[in-house]
Amino acid sequence: MSHRDTLRALTAARPTSLDPAAPPADPALIMSYPQEETVTRTARRPVGRLVLAAGLPAVALAVTGAFLLNNPSGTGPTLVQPPASAPASNAPAELPTDAGSVLLAAAQRSESTVASDGDYWVLRAEHGEGTRRGQDEMMWLAALPGLPSSGYFRRADGSWAARPMQGHTSANNFLLAGQPRSVQELAALPTDPGQLKRRLLGSYDGNDGEAEGRDVFLFHAGMDLVLDLPVTPQVRGAAYRMLAELPGVTSLGRVTDQRGRIGVAISVTRQGDFAKSQTRLIVDPATGQALASESWTGGRLASWLVRLEARWADGPLPDASTLS
Amino acid sequence: MTHEEPNSRFTAIYHRHHRQVYAYAVSRAGRTLADDVVADTFLVAWRRLEAVPEGPLPWLLGVARNVIRERFRDDVRQASLATELRAWTVEADADVADGVADRAAMLAALAGLSDDDRETLTLTAWQGLSARDAARVVGCSTASFFVRLHRARRRLEQAMSDPVPVDRRRPVRLTAQEYSR
């Protein structure tokens, strides 16, 4: 058999399973996502495998991944954040800025707020990469079974456009430590920092060669809890306390987030193959609220997210034209 | 640029190349993961539509290649792919058309090759890419793709003339792929 024949025979042997069994999904679903304004290489790196939960919904999650994973959640109740333009606080200079003190103060602040709930957990955040302009996004995530979820993104002209989030349910809307959790599961998390840590480590696979270190894993899980997950003020307080006890967590002192709000940056750093990579959680020491998260690689800001709003709301989903 | 232009361009690319991206995804990661790979690949294409070149197939397959590498843990991909490769042989065996034995032997031999060899061969034989385009997918020069293709083809021929005892007829656990249909 000549080389050419071999290739020809291989072509003839093409398995039929290479052809999709179903017609392609409607591309409109894909086109409902915002396009990038300019071309960069790393567009949606940060999500990794955490979003794999299930089929197409994974795509929806993937795009907003940075948002979901790194993101907002405030202290407690119908927490309406101050307008984005105003600094979240005028953090007096005498407030302590070391990691332990900031986190413990945040824990106390958090625990003193009142719990609330609703049909939807509403998150609004601006996220971006490097120094490029960010994308302002809002998500109405169903907390109850049977309700639809919807995302909204802000167009350049300031108006909002709805973005369907098919496949998103109250069962998979909230990711903690790489796994989807219902609001009930989140509410049942331990309020003791030691127990919380043990519970989170139940999802940690130290034998996975690709896994991040245990403390980095806990830092990210803790950051999810204080930034963007609908947990009770007590659980959020426990997450702050857990973070305060983690080795390797350091304070970078006073910083401003990408919206110019003043806070204290708490960080973990790990040595990657080519550069140091650092994750920063920015906390307002005066209010105890988590303001933002940032990822730095080799001394440069790689991606960031500022949380603008995290609150409970009741349905139905708002029409995009009613959002301001 | 009007609003319609990017939409119609993307829709055209999507309908034109969806099957090919799917086929590539199946051959690299198995049917169970293919839909995710395709969805993610076209999402990247949509988001960076301005960067998508004319004659976008090599670009799309290159993106799919990265998506596979970045999104799935290697053991997950390998498991899905192993199921896929076994299924090819079994399905070819079960096929009653003529030339069946050849097909099954060919696919069994292909399954025994390395990932890189298999990719090199299938980009050429199944995707119908020129060496130049295939080289763009895998990120090497055209010249070195020719070398790779030559070697992969030789190893495929070797594997066929000297068949490894593959348990082709043993019933394969089809659970995973049945669920994915």
Q: What is the pLDDT of residues A16-39, one digit of tens each?
A: 889 988 888 888 878 877 776 543
What is the model's pLDDT at position A300? 81
> Nearest C-alpha of chain B: how many angstroms from A41?
10
Interface test with A, best of B16, B66, B73 (most A CBs within 10 A): B73
pLDDT-based confidence at residue B133 (cuts at 50, 70, 90):
very high
Q: How far is the C-alpha of B105 from the C-alpha of B107, rounded, in Å? A: 5
Contact call for B18 and A24, based on CB within 8 A: yes
Q: How far is the C-alpha of A210 from the C-alpha of A207, rounded, in Å? A: 9
Residue B29 has pLDDT above 90, yes or no: yes
* Statement: the pTM of the whole predicted model exceeds 0.90: no
Residues A99 and A248 sit within 8 Å (Cβ to Cβ): no
The continuous run of DSSP H or E covering A278 comes out as strand A276-283
pLDDT-based confidence at residue A1 (cuts at 50, 70, 90):
low
Q: A66-75, A84-93, A292-301, B89-98: lowest mean pLDDT where?
A: A66-75
Residues 21-80 of B with CB under 8 A from A: 22-23, 26-27, 31, 34-36, 38-40, 42-44, 46-51, 70-73
Average pLDDT estimate for A64-79: 35
Residues B174 and B114 sit within 8 Å (Cβ to Cβ): no
For chain A, the domains span 43-75+92-317
> Which of A14, A19, A45 faces B19 most closely, judged by CB atoms?
A19
Contact call for A6 and B48, based on CB within 8 A: no
Q: How far is the C-alpha of B141 from the C-alpha of B143, rounded, in Å? A: 5
Residue A293 has pLDDT above 70, yes or no: yes
Instruction: Give the 3-state secondary structure percentages of chain B, helix then strand then coil, rounded to 5.
Output: 75, 0, 25
Residue in chain B closest to A2 (alpha carbons) equals B157
SS (H, E, C) B23-84: HHHHHHHCHHHHHHHHHHHHHHHHHCHHHCCCCCHHHHHHHHHHHHHHHCCHHHHHHHHHHH
Q: Which chain B residues contact residue A18 at CB under 8 A?
A: 22-23, 26-27, 126
Tell which residue, A220, A229, A244, A214, has the closest CA to residue A293. Answer: A220
What is the model's pLDDT at position B61? 95
Q: Is the ipTM of this complex over 0.95?
A: no
Contact call for A25 and B39, based on CB within 8 A: yes
DSSP letter string, A5-31: HHHHHHHHT--GGGS-SSPPPPHHHHH
Residue B66 has pLDDT above 80, yes or no: yes
Secondary structure class of A150 (helix, strand, coil): strand
B162 CB near a chain A CB, below 8 Å? no
Q: At what angle do helices B31-47 and B74-94 cross, to 10 degrees?
A: 120
Can you read off the two tokens belonging to residue A45? 């790196």
Average pLDDT estimate for B62-87: 86
